[in-house]
Amino acid sequence: MFKNVIVRVPSKSVVEGISSANLGKPDYNLALKQHELYVSALTKTGVNVTVLEPNDEFPDSCFVEDVALCTRKCAIITRPGAETRRNESALPDLQEALSKFYEHIEYIKAPGTIEAGDIMMVGDHFYIGESARTNREGAEQMIAILEKYGLSGSIVPLKEVLHLKTGLAYLENNNLLVAGEFVKSPEFEKYNKIIVPEDEAYGANCIWVNDYVLVPEGYPTVQKAIEDLGYKVLVVDTSEFRKIDGGLSCLSLRF
| 35, 70, 163, 206: the active-site residue | 163
Cross-sheet strand order for the sheet of 207-209: 207-209, 212-216, 232-236
* Cα 92 from Cα 227, distance rounded (Å): 40
The answer to whether residue 163 is catalytic is yes
Query: What burial class does residue 27 get, using C-beta atoms within 10 Å of its C-beta: 0-12 exposed, 13-18 middle, 19+ buried?
Result: middle
Q: How far from the centroid of its chain's Cα atoms is residue 116's Cα?
A: 6
Residues present in the chain in total:
255
* Pairing status of strand 68-70 against strand 212-216: unpaired
| Phi and psi at residue 49, to the nearest 5° | -110, 125
Cis peptide before 26 (omega within 30 of 0): no
Active site residues: 163, 250
